Structure 1
Amino acid sequence: MPAPSILFVCLGNICRSPLAEGIYRHLTAGTSEKPVIASAGIGNWHVGNPPDRRSIKVAATNGIDISRQRARQVQPQDFDRFDLVVAMDRSNLARLQSLRPQNATASLHLFAELAFGTQEDVPDPYYGEIEDFERVYSMLFSGCSAVVSKFE
């Protein structure tokens, strides 16, 4: 089965979704098919900005460079450009469902549901400490690994 194109979405596109994009890109780097992988935010507060410095640091500690990513907001065309649009939490998923054009082709998923079959939210570490970012990284790495294995 060919790897699907995937868009990871969180609130501002500076913490969770850039990490998920970087991890998924890293995990699929050695595959023959290069899926389209991106991330975006529900809001526009950080458009054009790099990921949160703590996300960059945690990714770098794990051998992944996300420093060149720039935040962007979800656009209507994303729902046709990507096969999967994956929300980091239920609030993001609800917002994506309301933004999704009626005839869009992308399927919407909660990250944990797609990865683990659970309804768990990926917690937003923005107001936390570096340890919160490390926990989110671990959850995203496990989840992205599970998603990659589904399409091998």
Structure 2
Amino acid sequence: MPIKSALFICLGNICRSPLAEAVARKHLAGAGLDIEVASCGTGGWHVGEQADPRMRVAALNAGYDLEPHRARQLHADDIDRFDLLLAMDSNNLRDMRRMFGGKGDDRLALFLDWAGAAPPRDFPDPYYEELTAFTQSVVLAERGVQGLIQRLRQP
């Protein structure tokens, strides 16, 4: 099945998944791949908020604008809206599987695993870490998106 849309999922949709969305949007377009991308969180604590200020700075320093982002929570109909749902970590993937009850399991995966960018398998959450963790997240997101592009180009 050709991939026309991808959803990146983390816990609160203020750090990892909006970053992956922005990196993917820029690099997929640059690679000539017309794929809709979006992001969300499994939890609803930050719905409507911007990305974490530390992530916005780290992303902007690398050329990605997270200012327009507003957090949203994963919805049951997302399994019908997206061809590929990529969790940032194993806990997010477990929560997604629980929510969807086995529906679309072939389209649910860990972002870094699916992209062939592992290790690590789980994309570390920088939220409770030092500022350097946010910069490292940008590097990891870029590596993951490059793997994603390579995989999407495979016949």
TM-score (norm 1): 0.92
Displacement of 1:137: 1.2
Distance 1:105 1:4, change over 3 A: farther
- Aligned positions of 1:126-145 closer than 5 A: 126-145=127-146
The whole-number CA distance in structure 1 between the counterparts of 2:134 and 2:102 is 35
Matched with 2:93 is: 93
Preserved CA contact (<8 Å) 1:42 1:95: yes
Preserved CA contact (<8 Å) 1:81 1:106: no
The gaps in structure 2 that reach 5 residues or longer are none
Counterpart of 2:30 in 1: which secondary structure? coil
Matched with 1:111 is: 111
When structure 1 is superposed on structure 2, of 88-97 and 111-120 the one drifting more is 111-120
RMSD of the alignment, in Å? Answer: 1.9
Preserved CA contact (<8 Å) 1:40 1:74: yes
Preserved CA contact (<8 Å) 2:117 2:147: no
The whole-number CA distance in structure 2 between the counterparts of 1:120 and 1:3 is 22
- Amino acid in the other structure paired with 1:115: A
The gaps in structure 1 that reach 5 residues or longer are none
Distance 1:66 1:117, change over 3 A: closer
Preserved CA contact (<8 Å) 2:117 2:144: no
When structure 1 is superposed on structure 2, of 6-15 and 25-34 the one drifting more is 25-34
The whole-number CA distance in structure 1 between the counterparts of 2:74 and 2:33 is 25
Deviations 1:10-47 (A, max 9, x none): 00000000000000001012354421100000000000
Matched with 1:84 is: 84
When structure 1 is superposed on structure 2, of 61-70 and 111-120 the one drifting more is 111-120
Matched with 2:29 is: 29
Displacement of 1:116: 2.1
What is the aligned-residue identity percentage?
Answer: 40
Counterpart of 2:85 in 1: which secondary structure? strand
TM-score (norm 2): 0.90
Matched with 2:124 is: 123
The whole-number CA distance in structure 1 between the counterparts of 2:2 and 2:62 is 27
Distance 1:113 1:33, change over 3 A: closer
Preserved CA contact (<8 Å) 2:40 2:74: yes
